[in-house]
Amino acid sequence: MAPINEYDYDLIVIGGGSGGLACAKEAVANGAKVACLDFVKPTPLGTKWGIGGTCVNVGCIPKKLMHQASLLGESVHEAAAYGWEIPNKEAIKPDWEKLVQSVQNHIKSVNWVTRVDLRDKKVEYINGLGFFKDPHTVVAKLKNNTERTITASKIVIAVGGRPRYPDIPGALEYGITSDDLFSLDRAPGKTLVVGAGYIGLECAGFLKGLGYESTVMVRSIVLRGFDQQMANIVADSMVERGIPFLHKTIPKSVEKTEDGRLLVKYVNTETQEEGSDVYDTVLWAIGRKGLVDDLNLDAAGIQVKADKIAVNEAEQTNVPHIYAIGDIIHGRPELTPVAIHAGRLLARRLFGGSKQIMDYTDVATTVFSPLEYACVGMAEEDAIKKYGEDNIEVFHGFYKPTEFFIPQKSVRYCYVKAVAERSGDQKVLGLHYVGPVAGEVIQGFAAAVKSGLTMKILLNTVGIHPTTAEEFTRLSITKRSGMDPTPASCCS
């Protein structure tokens, strides 16, 4: 379609993360003239990064790479049990600086490829902090403190979020967040991770796997929003690996000691008992805040809900030509693939004549804890709340991964669960898995659940043996039966 002459662009996308980039590129592919704005404000520590958003720079990608580094450290010791001759394996330890350099080299290569891709696809990239002047006008504040004003027929907000800091003495001065960890210029040493969401557990997990003491401080519950039985299994498996949890505890202050370490004072919210300990690093993982403050949304008349933007089922704000996608929108899964898919579908609706809207149900996800957890669909407690306990059947079982036998790794927390309707063919409402390569296992099952998987079909599916994924096809024991869900052997 031809540009709308009264505006500079058909579409302005504010935010150069996964969702914004996907939307911008898809809009161009459907004939639109598009500008994409992206700017990264440095963290209190001074960390900043290139185009690509949280996932590429300080999220999924570096997290998975460091998780893999941690798993490889375990594998070295397991290899000895399998007969590999590893001289002085106790001396094997990671080089933090080299690991960070390797991770950052990869990220910078992705930044470069992203820039080239935008140029090739004819998306105009503007490295500036965008904010509204009026409903159709966006101002980009550029690096040299100059401003550029541009207009568009339609605008998509895709600015995402950044980690929160607690309002306590020393938090900003001495603490870091996941925005800093993956480029930290020193080994983290003994680390306190404050927060027990998936980011906190993942960071504590790979730090411990890399040989650094880590402790998790939990204000209320572990993995809020996830199935709580599975969440507690994940936490228990981490404790078994030597990661202590401070439950019902909040930090009061962080102070620098004479030897340059960090004294953290904290209190148990139930007993009011106070305590303290000294750490080398304090990592805040207490949630994320939508980046609405810099957008000057009042100038466009856009409604905000908490620190997010309220949208309808088509990602449309209360201002009809302004849309929002990704982590900045209220009440939707904060996941990179969700933002990408929503961004592409939105661009096709705006410029390609499509009518398809984003389906936010049954989105699979994985927590890359040391023993990984993946799920798709409903948590057990949510299914019971919606359908009633008498109408839900929960199939479950512990299992023993074959690869754990020879190195004698703990199988105590390897567990699968299917939450299903009790009647008829028993439609599957949710699948939950704790064990090796959880994301790889659950991805295929996610398509099945999306397609209306039933327990009848699942239990008529022949498993691939010996795999851990096949455990879903062997789920014969229900919680209601009270039978022992521990297997007798691997092949029966």
Q: Which amino acid is at 415?
A: Y
Of 25, 20, 97, nearest to 56 (Cα)? 20
Is residue 187 a contact partner of residue 42, using CB atoms and an 8 Å limit?
A: no
Of 268, 266, 285, 286, nearest to 276 (Cα)? 266
Residues 6+ apart with CB under 8 A from 224: 197
Is residue 180 a contact partner of residue 44, using CB atoms and an 8 Å limit?
A: no
Annotated catalytic residue 77: no
Quote the DSSP letter at residue 391.
Answer: G
Known binding-site residues for NAD(+) equal 195-202, 287
Residues 6+ apart with CB under 8 A from 369: 198, 201, 202, 205, 234, 237, 238
Q: Return the SS3 of 412.
A: coil
Give dist(CA 458, CA 145) in Å, integer. 59
Known binding-site residues for FAD equal 64, 130, 327
Give dist(CA 148, CA 126) in Å, integer. 9
Phi, psi (deg, nearest 5) at residue 329: -90, 150
User: Across the chain, which distance is largest between two alpha carbons, in Å?
Assistant: 73
CA angle (478, 480, 483) in 5-degree steps: 60
Give dist(CA 265, CA 263) in Å, integer. 7
Query: Exposed (0-12), middle (13-18) or buried (19+): which is 410, by Cβ within 10 Å?
Result: exposed
Give dist(CA 222, CA 247) in Å, integer. 9
Known binding-site residues equal 64, 130, 195-202, 287, 327
Give dist(CA 391, CA 151) in Å, integer. 54
Residues 6+ apart with CB under 8 A from 478: 393, 394, 395, 396
Which residue in 136, 247, 321, 465 is the catalytic one? 465
Give the HSE-up count for residue 87: Cα atoms under 13 Å, Cβ half-sphere.
0
Query: Exposed (0-12), middle (13-18) or buried (19+): which is 365, by Cβ within 10 Å?
Result: buried
Give dist(CA 434, CA 205) in Å, integer. 15
Is residue 173 a contact partner of residue 301, using CB atoms and an 8 Å limit?
A: no
Of 58, 481, 457, 63, nearest to 288 (Cα)? 58
Active-site amino acid positions: 465
